[in-house]
Structure 1
Amino acid sequence: MCGRFALTASPAQVRALFRYEEQPNFPPRTNVSPTEPIAIVTDERGRRAFKLVRWGFIPTWVKDTREFPLLINARCETLADKPAFRNAVRRRRCLVPADGFYEWRREGEGKTARKQPYLIRRRDGQPMALAGLWETYVSPDGGEIDTALIVTTQANGLVAAVHDRMPVIIEPEQFDLWLDCAGEDPRMAAALMRPCPDEILEMEACDPRLPRPERPAARPAPARKTAAASSAAPAQGSLF
């Protein structure tokens, strides 16, 4: 799975890679965590768009979010079959900008055992694009909130040393194919949901005292997000 990731590239670097029109200004974040606001890139009628959403996917049919599990990842093997993801994989695929993602491995035995974090990133030093799905959840009383998750696949040889799953990584030349949902046929995009080659990535052990998640200062939500949205999920805050 992918439960933490980093995005420390500058806004200019991220915009140059993903080629969206917006010009958001956001700070570097070394430990992005579930329920926090994350950046995603979508396709809107042939134009790439930057969005800020909650990391924790909520399907449209959920009635009581308090009884629904937090969905930060989805296995690519079951996207087309599970009701929670069936519509989103056809119509609302997205890219999640990141510098790298973290996985933990248990090292040692007994009382001396510890969980050692590892940062997995691109060997060329460029930001990466994690495959994602997004959804606009509308609560029973009309509040709206945009949510997203990261799609995972089996680990490649490098990542398998610490975990059996990893995010699906989309290469720049594949961005359009992954984001194009106009035909609503996910079969072409499904071919991209596979482990990336080992040589693309590198892995480095991190300080076990991984920095605590940065929680960006909150600001008022956009006008279309009503107060009722607060009952559906934690406040999003802002990256910028």
Structure 2
Amino acid sequence: MCYGIRIVKKAKEIKMFYNIKSIENNKSVDSEHIYNYANGFAHPNLWVLPQERIGYMVPMKWGLIPPYELGENSKEYYKKTVKYGSGLNARSEKLFYSNNYKNSATTKRCIIPVDGFYEPHTATKNGKAFKIPFYFQRKNEAPINVAGIYTLTKDNVATFTILTKEATPLFSKIHNKKNRRPVLLQDADIDVWLDNSLTESDIINVIDDDMPDELLTTYPISKDLYKRDGQGNREGIITPVEYDEIQINYK
């Protein structure tokens, strides 16, 4: 599952790549939303391109809160749901069956632009399993178009979740316990994903035909990513690190 992302491009760079007309931001929050490592469980604000405001990008809190809840109670809600992932990811297979997702699936789809993201690989040493973080980015280092859905709570707080799907071959090797991957839209589907006229079958087709593994590169990085003292949120965190315990070909 995708619980950690990297965003280092400035808002103006993202605006240019996606041909955004306007950036909307609340002066009370950071105007750039730049993170070398954004831990989803901290529920940061990230830039989002929403279906209801095509041509705009706005900050939203990562961690979907259902529309019948209050955003002002977000800390309590996330704490209560942490064992279920605190709304950070949503299985795309449940889009049209879950009461928390199905309305958003048709009217509140979104794109979360990121530079890269982190996934854990489970390795073993002396019979003991442990996790090694891998970093994913596009080979051309362009923004990755992560697919998501969002909601507005009863008190009008916008929150989003990242859609996931069954792992493709590359992700099966890396994310080898959960065997999932985020839904990564192809560039040709950026406008399509936000189109109000999409049918259920259209939406499923876009998800099924998302970015192929061949456009991505991945490699292991420092386990500092998992430390709780903030060492993961540093510029050099994506420096490659070799581990003897890794027994897969990821290059």
**TM-score (normalised: structure 2):** 0.75
* In 1: Cα distance, 2:165 partner to 2:20 partner: 26
1:161-240 to 2 correspondences below 5 Å = 161-163=173-175, 164-181=179-196, 183=197, 185-194=199-208, 196-210=211-225, 212=231
- Tell me if 1:153 matches 2:168: no
> CA offsets per residue over residues 49-98 of structure 1, 9 Å max, x none?
11111101011134783645511111111110111101000100000010
1:97–1:130 Cα contact (<8 Å) kept: yes
Given candidates 84, 87, 90, the residue that maps to 2:100 is 84
In 1, Cα distance between the equivalents of 2:49 and 2:211? Answer: 20
Q: What residue in structure 2 maps to residue 42 of structure 1?
A: 50
Partner Cα distance (1:29, 1:9) in 2: 9
Distance 1:58-1:26 versus aligned 2 partners, 3 A rule: same
Query: Which whole-Å CA distance do the structure 2 matches of 1:21 and 1:54 have between them?
Result: 22
Letter aligned with residue 178 of structure 1 = W
Letter paired with 2:174: V
> How far apart, CA to CA, are the structure 2 residues paired with 1:11 and 1:192?
26
Structure 2 unaligned spans of 5+: 26-30, 234-251
Aligned to 1:32: 38
Size of the aligned set, in residue pairs, is 208
Which residue in 2 is equivalent to 1:59?
66
3-state SS of the aligned residue for 1:199?
A: helix
CA–CA separation in structure 1 for the residues paired with 2:59 and 2:52: 15
Report if the CA contact (8 A) 2:33-2:47 is conserved. no
SS of 1:60's equivalent in the other structure is: coil
Q: What's the counterpart of residue 125 of structure 2?
A: 109
CA 21–202 in structure 1, closer or farther in 2 if over 3 Å, else same: same
Q: Is the 8 A contact 1:74 1:150 kept in 2?
A: yes
Q: CA deviation at 1:185?
A: 2.9
Query: 1:88 touches 1:133 (CA, 8 Å); kept in 2?
Result: yes
- Between the two structures, name the one with larger relative contact order (CA 8 Å, sep ≥ 6): 1
Give the Å deviation of 1:212.
4.3
SS class of match (2:222) = coil
- State the Cα RMSD in Å: 2.2
Q: How far apart are residue 125 of structure 1 and its match? A: 1.2
One-letter amino acid of the counterpart of residue 63, structure 2: G
Indicate the percent of aligned positions where both proteins have the same amino acid.
23
Give every structure 1 segment of 4 or more consecutive aligned residues whose post-TM-superposition deviation is greater than 6 Å. none
Paired residue type of 2:162: I
Give the helix-richer structure, 1 or 2: 2
Contact 1:91–1:184 (8 Å) recurs in 2: no
Note if contact 1:177-1:188 (Cα within 8 Å) is conserved in structure 2: no
Report deviation, 1:17: 1.7
Q: Which residue of 2 aligns with 1:224?
A: none
State TM-score, norm by structure 1.
0.78
